[in-house]
Structures are given as C-alpha cells and as structure tokens.
Chain A
Amino acid sequence: MKNTRNSVFDGILGDNMVLSSLMMISPVIICGDTLKNALALIFAFTSITFISMLIGSFVPKKLPYTARIIIYAAISSLVYIPVRFAAEGFYPESIERIGIYYPLLAVNSLIVLQSEAKFYRMKRSRMIGSLVFYILGFDAVMLITGFVRELFAYGTINSRIVSIDTLISGLGKPFGGFIFLGLMCGVYRCIRSAFRAKNRNMS
C-alpha cells in the first residue's frame, strides 16, 4: 500500500517530469523568466494535458502504436483551441510573449510518449491521481523558475519592483534558463538521493 501511494506522488519529487527526465524543458528555459509567463504556461499545460490524456485513455488499444500516437497528438491539438481562447482572455500579454511555445505545450512528451509508456497501463482512477501529481510537478518547477529568474534578472516579483541592487540580466535569457535549470536539476537530484537514503535508513 505504501509503495502504491509513493508511486502516485512520484510526479512531484521522485520522478519530476522536468527535473528528472528533462521533458518539456523548452518552455521552462525560454518562457519561464517571469511569474506571469509561468502562470500562463501552467494554465495551458494543466488544462491541455489533463483533458487530452483523459480523452486519450479511451482510444482503443487495438489500433497500431503509430496511429495511437497520431491520435493523441490530434486530440491535444484540438483541446488547445478552446484553451487558447480562454488564455487570451486571462493572460493576453503573456500569450504574446510566449509565442510559439504556447502551441508546443500541446504536443508535449507527457501526452505523446509517456501516455503510452506509463499512464495508459494503469487503471483509470490511478492514472488520474498519478497524472495530477505529474502535472503539479511541472507546475511547481515552472513557478519556482519563473519566480527566481524574474526576481534576479529583472528585480521584480509578478511585475512589482523589489529592491535588489545587482541584477543578473543574463538569467532572463535562454542561456540563463539552461544554466538555472541545470543547477536546479542537480540540486533536485541531491535532495532526492538524500530523501531516498533517509527512507532506506528508516526502513
């Protein structure tokens, strides 16, 4: 029972899709430089991924693998249309800035590849639970990245100016995203192995 619970929560710490498998890193690197962008991306990723994967789970397994992958991508591309309509109302400025990375969220590896490899092998109720935590894992990384990069690159938090006298403007650039994510990934692994060692000692 304990193992089952652990694996459902894996998406946040044990197997975070961004920090562990480096999935969906392009939007995090390029657009995760402000909290506003992060929120707009979180909104789109969460809604598109959850709805698409739920619908995709009804696709018959009898179909050939390639056909199923194409159908999953097509479903998420269709789900993208109403999500984009809604996002233009909620985050009009961010959508403009995020540009091509917004539609790219719809063909993310969680929907296209991990769905087959992991989620659709589970029972539907368990799949939903696990999926929620994987999505939350992405959301958490996006929020942290957006917050830290905005603070140190632009000296603002959610566009409000805070007092920091030496800004590292490079942190807001794509290369800053690469380096920050790399460092975050290393720290994440360090924390994960410390947790695992602690659990091992306790058991």
Chain B
Amino acid sequence: MNQKKESRIWLDEMITLLPLALMAFFYYGVHFAVMAAVCIFTGLAAEFAALRLMHREFTADDLMCTSDALIIALMFPAVMDYKIAFLAVLFGSVVAKNVFGGRRNMIFSPAAAAYVFTLTSWGRELLMYPSPHAHTGIAEKAKDLVVSASHTFNMTGKMEYSDFEILMGNFSGPCGAVSIMLLVIAAAMLIFRKDISAGAFIGTISGTAVFAFITPMIADRSDSVKYSLVTNMVLFAAIYIVSDRRTAPKKSYYAFFYGFFIAVASYILIITTAQENTIVLATVLFTPAAMGFRMLEHKIEQAEKEQAKEEAAR
C-alpha cells in the first residue's frame, strides 16, 4: 500500500464515518459529539507524541489515527464516560499500534484492540446503552440505560423492531454500528473505491449468512440470516475492522477465507455463549491467522518470481 493511497483511504473512510456520527448525534445528542471529539483529539495527540518519540514526521497518512478513533467512538454507547473513551483510544493508538512501529508495521486493528480493552475493564459501561432519542447533555450522567437489541436477540431470539427502524438505526446498541442503511452505502462505496478488502468483507458477510441459515438462531431461517447480519455489530465490524487493508490478507482469495473464518467463529460464539459483538473478539484472535496468510502470500509471490526468472532464463 503506497503512502498516497493511505491518506486517500482515510478521506474515504471519514466520508463514510461522518454520516454515522451525525446519525448518532441526532439520536443521542451532544454527549456523543463531545465523546467523539475526545476520541479524535486523543488519537491525534497520541499519534503525534508517538511519532515524535520515534523521530518520525507527522504526515497526511498518519491521519488514519483519527478515523480509528472515530471508529472506536462509534462502537461505544453514546453516553460513554469521557475518561474511559480517552483511555481506550490511548490504548488503541499507543499499545496496539505504535509500540509495534505504527502504521508501517500494523499487527492489530487499533479499534478492535481498544474495544476488547474496554470490554475487559469496563464491560458494564460498554454494554449498557441509552434508548434512541434519549438525549444526554455534556456533563449529564446517563440514566435509564438498557441492554442492546443484539443482547435481547442473542438471549431470546426476539427482535422487537420493524425493518424500517433497523434500517434507520432506531434501536439500542453501539451508537454508530446500528445505522444499517448508512453502513450498506458505506460498504458499497469503500469496496467500489478499493479502500477496504472486498474479499474479507464478502467472506465475513457470507460466513455469517451461511451459518445463520444452516444453524438458525430462530425458527425462520430468513429472519435468522437477516438479524444475524444486522445485530452484534457484524456489518460495522465487517467494514471497518475485519476488512481493514492494513491487517487483512492482501489477496482477495485469502482475505475471503480470513473473513469467513472470523464470521464462523464469531457466530458459533454467539450461539454458544450469547455474548454480544463477538466479531471484534474473533478479529483480534484471528490476527495471527491474518499474519500467517500474509506470510503465505509473500512466499507464493517469491516462488512465482523465481519461477518467472527461471522461465525467462530458459
């Protein structure tokens, strides 16, 4: 991936993330906007400081830290404590990214690592959400929090929202990961612009759909497929985490299987443990597999080059 492309990817990602953020602001009010700002500025400051310590200059390509920070904000409940959001972004930027050399040597998706970090330290704060249209002020404490629609679906197999509400994101859950219509548009745009790995995205979606059909969570197979795709942040994570070009295998063929395996593992975790948003956990756990795929690609490329050389020599 050349440098120019990385800053272009950032721009495209931000274009798709901003409508999600606007939607979250519309549903949940100013608390979300401040939380997103805290995340972005923390990400920017952490990246800047880390690059200074590594004696590197901050360039346009390093702006990816802001899209990572916004992805983290969109995976949180809109009323998340600012300090927790700050610590999560700091963890994602410093521990999961810059300690390993930053964007030149990515191992984990910073957003996925930050989410898992928050889940393990502040699980209750992360998994209790405000209802849509329950606006929270800047300094207000969140009240009347509810469990997510994903949690209810995982536990009971029931989804009490109409298709229109689901499309518009009018149900409780992570503030940016529920606007399904916007996410579908974002996926189409990012795939069309080659900003995300199409193979990994298709693999994730087809893995979830196939397994939701073969081993449905509810009696109606088509509903099982539909709800499995729109709940548990599957669509959001498929776009912004699993298909992240910095960590997914490069070739679509391998990326497809990478995404497929993540989706299968995540689906099995949901039906066996009823845990929410397992796709993010599965992505972190499949990081070694992604690196294994990349090594394999590298070896195949080298073998092909050597073969081409030998043939040319003949």
Contact = CB atoms under 8 A, between A and B. Distances in A.
Interface stretch (A40-48, A61-69, A169-177): A169-177
A98 to B, nearest CB: 22
A175 B120 contact: yes
B121 A169 contact: yes
Contact of A170 (B81, B83, B99, B121): B121
A168 interface: yes
A183 B122 CA distance: 21
Contacts of A186: 99
Contact of B95 (A165, A173, A183): A183
A197 interface: no
A203 interface: no
Contacts of A168: 87, 121
Contacts of B121: 167-171
Contacts of B83: 165-166
B14 to A, nearest CB: 29
A171 B95 CA distance: 13
Interface residues of B, number: 10
A167 to B, nearest CB: 8
Q: Give the most central of B81, B83, B122: most A CB within 10 Å.
A: B122
| Residue from B84, B99, B121, B122 having most chain A Cβ neighbours under 10 A | B121
A179 B87 contact: no
Contacts of B81: 166
22 contacts: A165-B83, A166-B81, A166-B83, A166-B84, A166-B87, A167-B121, A168-B87, A168-B121, A169-B120, A169-B121, A169-B122, A170-B117, A170-B120, A170-B121, A171-B121, A173-B120, A175-B120, A179-B95, A182-B99, A183-B95, A183-B99, A186-B99
Interface of A: 165-171, 173, 175, 179, 182-183, 186
